[in-house]
Structure 1
């Protein structure tokens, strides 16, 4: 962790962290609402979404350098 030159710097850092937490919550809330609306409208099923999440997770956690 970086050192803070003053206690005021630390307070500002903690405030920014709190703001990021609030923004993250709002983004997740909107994302969840949009997904529920798309499922309700029949654009895709919850099972299709879960399958796609698993597929993307595998891609993201795999090695960026495929073995030949």
Structure 2
């Protein structure tokens, strides 16, 4: 990694961002494939997946709110 004074250069940061985008894409692809297979096999239906995603999102939001309350 090219560094100046111990700090990442702009090129390093751009490369890291590109790597993160690739990882995010692959993770999304695998999750989508898993959900599609579970729906196709009748193990889950799309509404169950959507409901669980909303529930998890709400839970994470509540946890973040709790942390911010106790951070002050």
Runs of 4+ in 1 over 4 A off after TM superposition: none
CA RMSD of aligned residues (A): 2.2
1:18 alignment counterpart: 18
Unaligned runs of 5+ in 1: none
Q: TM-score, normalising length from structure 2?
A: 0.70
Matched residues, number: 61
Question: Under a length normalisation based on structure 1, what TM-score does the superposition of the two structures give?
Answer: 0.73
Q: Going by fraction, where is strand more abundant, 1 or 2?
A: 2
Corresponding residue for 1:38?
Answer: 38
Greater relative contact order (CA < 8 Å, ≥ 6 in sequence):
2
* Structure 2, unpaired ranges of 5+: 68-72
